[in-house]
Amino acid sequence: MTELATKILSGDARSLARAATAIENRSAAAESLLKELFPHTGRATVIGLTGAAGAGKSTLTDRLIHELRRENKAVGVLAVDPTSPYTGGAFLGDRIRMLSHHADPGVFIRSMATRGHLGGLAAAATDMALLLDAAGKEFVLIETVGVGQDEVEIAKVADVTVVVLVPGMGDDVQVIKAGIMEIADVFVINKADQSGGADRLEREILALQSLSTRHDGWVPPIVRTVATEGQGIVETLAAIRSFLVRSGVKDRAVANWSLRLREMLRERLLEQFANIDFQAAAAEVAARRSDPYTITNAWLKKWLA
Amino acid sequence: MTELATKILSGDARSLARAATAIENRSAAAESLLKELFPHTGRATVIGLTGAAGAGKSTLTDRLIHELRRENKAVGVLAVDPTSPYTGGAFLGDRIRMLSHHADPGVFIRSMATRGHLGGLAAAATDMALLLDAAGKEFVLIETVGVGQDEVEIAKVADVTVVVLVPGMGDDVQVIKAGIMEIADVFVINKADQSGGADRLEREILALQSLSTRHDGWVPPIVRTVATEGQGIVETLAAIRSFLVRSGVKDRAVANWSLRLREMLRERLLEQFANIDFQAAAAEVAARRSDPYTITNAWLKKWLA
C-alpha cells in the first residue's frame, strides 16, 4: 500500500485534500489510489442535498453537520459549485463554513466545481465520496444547487436524496421541475416559519405525490425546518434514517453501481471520441457527400474489429 | 435503387407509411433504405413545436398545416406520443387530425411513440424527418409534449424550435423549466385572448431573456396566437422564417449533424453494452469483491484490442 493511501485510511486531512485535488484533475494517479482504497469503502452513508439557490441549503447542511458531530460521527461534505452564470460561481457561504469547521478534525469540507459535461459530476462525486468513505467519514453530505441535471446526477451517487424547498419562491416551479419528484427521498420545507406558505407548499407536494407512486412504494416524508434557528434538524435526520432503514440500502447500492459502471464505460469510450473530427464528418453529411450511417459504421468497424 | 426507395421519392403515401414503421421498429431494412434516400434529402425545413400539454399545440400545428397548404407546400407531421403516465399515452387529437387531413395527399401525418431511452427519440425523429424530406415534404413539423428530455431532443433535430406557452397555466413553470429558454427560437403565446394573462406571460419571458444572451445573438420573438380562431398563424410562420433566414441554416445543420453523429456512434456502442451483465458486475462491486476501475478497464481492453 502506498504511503498516501495509508495516510488517507488513517483520516489525515492534508492527504485527503491532496487526493481530492488529484481526483478533480482526473489524474492517472487518482485512479490507482482509488483502486487501492476501494476495498476499504462501503461504510459511509451518502446524503445528497439539493434544492434551489436561496433555499437555505447551506445553513441546513451546516446544522446537519453539527447534529452529526454531536453524535460523534465523522462527516465529509462535498459542496458542488455550479459553474452556471445564474448563480455566479462559488458560494461565499461555503468559504465561511469551511472556516467555521476548520478546527474540527471530524469534519472535512470540500468544494467541487461542476464540469459541464454530462456524467462528469456523478463520476467525480462518486470518486470523492469513496475517498471520504475510505478516510473514515461515516456520513458524506453532497450539497448541490438545483441547476439542470446536477441534482439528478447526485441522486445516482447518494444513498438518500433530500430536496430542500422553501415557501414563496414560486413554489410550484421548485417542485414540479423535471425530475425532482422522482429523486426526492425526503422533502424539507425550510424557512417554514414564513407566514402560511409552508402549508400551501406541503399541500402542493402532497397533491403531486398523489398523482403517482414510486416503484419502491416509499412516500417521501415532508419535514419542516427553520435551519437558521436549528429547528427540525433532528427530525430531518430521523426522516433520512427511516428511509435508509426501510429502502434496502444494499439493493440501492447495486442499482447505483450498475448505473455507474455503465456510465464509466461510456465515458471511457467517449474519451476515444476525442480522436474523431466530428465537425468535419458533419460537414460531409450536411453537404450530402456521405451519409451518417456509413460514417458511423466505419468508425465502429475500426474500433470493434 | 430499390422499388421502395423509388416510390418514396415519388411521394407515395403507402410506401412512406411502411418505411416509417420499419424505422420505428429499427429494422435492418430501415437503415439500408435511409442510406439510399439520404442523398435526396436536405431540402425540407424541420420545425419543432413543443410546450406543455394543454397549450393548444395540436390546434396550432393544425393551423400551420392549413397555412402551409394554402402556400401549396407539401407537409409532413411527426406527432410524438409521450409514453408518460402523466398524459396517458396517445392523443385523441392526433387521431382526429389524421382523419381531417386524410384526403389531402400533400399532408402526411404520423404518430411516433417515445422510446424512453435517451437519444432514442432524437435518432428516430431524425430518421423520420429524413424519410419525409426524401418524399418531397417541404416542411416537416415535429410536435412533442414538454415532458422531460423530449423537447431538448427534438431541438437537436429541428432547424427551428417553437415553444408554445399559454397564460394562466402556472406560467413561470412553463418558461423557466430546465432548458426551455435555451431551445426556443420562437415563442408562441397561444390562447392570447385570455384576460390579461398574455401580457404577464410576455413580461416574464422578456425578463428571462434579459438575463442572458444566446451565443448566436438571436432574441427569440414572441408571437401571440389564438389558434382556435386562426389568429397569429401567419405571424408565427413569419417569425419562423425570419429565424431561418437569419441564423445560417447551414451552420446549424453541420452543428446538428455533429451532435447526431456523436450520438449515433454512442448508441451503437451502447448496443454492445447489451451483452454485458451490469447487474452482476455491480453486485461484485457493491460487495467489494472487485472495484469499478478494474472492471471497466477489462471491458475496454476486450473491445478496443
State the pLDDT at residue B129: 94
State the pLDDT at residue B177: 58
State the pLDDT at residue B116: 47
* Sign for the pseudo-dihedral over CA of A184, A188, A191, A197: positive
Residue B40, C-beta contacts closer than 8 angstroms, at least 6 positions apart: B9, B133, B134
Using an 8 Å Cβ cutoff, are B79 and B109 in contact? Answer: yes
Using an 8 Å Cβ cutoff, are B54 and B88 in contact? Answer: no
Using an 8 Å Cβ cutoff, are B135 and B108 in contact? Answer: yes
Residue A51: closest CA among A181, A146, A141, A168: A146
Is the pLDDT confidence value at A29 over 70? Answer: yes
Residue B260: closest CA among B38, B61, B5: B38
Average pLDDT in chain A: 82
Q: How many CB atoms lie within 10 A of CB B265?
A: 24
Coil vs helix vs strand at A173: helix
Residue B158 dihedral angles phi and psi, to the nearest 5°? -80, 150
Q: Do A265 and B272 touch (CB under 8 A)?
A: no
pLDDT digits (tens, 9 = 90+) for A66-89: 999 999 999 999 988 655 333 333
Chain B positions touching A31 (Cβ under 8 A) are 293
State the pLDDT at residue B150: 64
Q: Which set of grid coordinates corresponds to residue B197? A: 394573462
Q: Do A261 and B211 touch (CB under 8 A)?
A: no
CA atoms of B25 and B23, how far apart (whole Å): 5
Q: How does DSSP assign B215-282, residue by residue? A: TT-----EEE-BGGGTBTHHHHHHHHHHHHHHTTHHHHHHHHHHHHHHHHHHHHHHHHHTTS-HHHHH
Q: Do B282 and A170 touch (CB under 8 A)?
A: no
Q: How far apart are the first and last CA of chain B?
A: 38
Strands of A37-131 (E only): list them: 45-51, 75-81, 107-113
Q: Which set of grid coordinates corresponds to residue B88? A: 396517458
Q: Do A278 and B286 touch (CB under 8 A)?
A: no
Which of A39, A257, A291 faces B292 most closely, judged by CB atoms? A257
Chain B positions touching A85 (Cβ under 8 A) are 212
Query: How large is the angle between the packed helices B249-273 and A249-273, nearest 10 degrees?
Result: 130
Q: Which set of grid coordinates corresponds to residue B253? A: 445543420
Mean pLDDT to the nearest integer, A205-216: 80
pLDDT digits (tens, 9 = 90+) for A165-176: 888 776 455 555
User: Where do we find the cell 433504405?
Assistant: B33
* Averaged pLDDT, groups of 10, chain B, 305 residues long: 94 92 84 93 92 83 94 92 43 55 81 59 86 96 71 81 84 55 89 85 84 82 95 97 80 84 81 82 92 87 66
* Torsion angle defined by CA atoms of residues A218, A221, A227 and A232, in that order, rounded to the nearest 10 degrees: -120
State the pLDDT at residue A256: 84
Provide the shortest C-alpha distance from residue B274 to chain A (in Å).
Answer: 10
Coil vs helix vs strand at A48: strand
Q: Which residues pair with residue B49 across a beta bridge?
A: B143, B162
**Alpha-carbon B235 to chain mean position:** 22
- CA angle at residue B227 from B191 to B133, to 5 degrees? 130
State the pLDDT at residue A172: 52
Evaluate if pTM is beyond 0.95. Answer: no
CA atoms of B218 and B197, how far apart (whole Å): 25
Using an 8 Å Cβ cutoff, are A94 and A58 in contact? Answer: yes
- CA angle at residue B146 from A186 to A51, to 5 degrees? 25
Chain A positions touching B285 (Cβ under 8 A) are 257, 261
Residue B187, C-beta contacts closer than 8 angstroms, at least 6 positions apart: B162, B163, B165, B205, B220, B221, B222, B223
Q: What is the ipTM of this complex?
A: 0.74
Q: Do A39 and B288 touch (CB under 8 A)?
A: yes
All domains of chain B in start order, with CATH? 39-249 (3.40.50.300), 263-303 (no CATH)
Chain A positions touching B283 (Cβ under 8 A) are 254, 257
Chain A positions touching B86 (Cβ under 8 A) are 211-212
Residue A219: closest CA among A201, A239, A236: A239
State the pLDDT at residue A145: 66
Coil vs helix vs strand at B162: strand
A2-6, A61-65, A144-148, B22-26, range with the lowest pLDDT = A144-148
Provide the shortest C-alpha distance from residue A124 to chain B (in Å).
Answer: 13
pLDDT digits (tens, 9 = 90+) for A113-131: 765 444 467 788 889 999 9
A-B C-beta contacts closer than 8 Å: 149
Using an 8 Å Cβ cutoff, are A1 and A36 in contact? Answer: yes
Using an 8 Å Cβ cutoff, are B48 and B155 in contact? Answer: yes
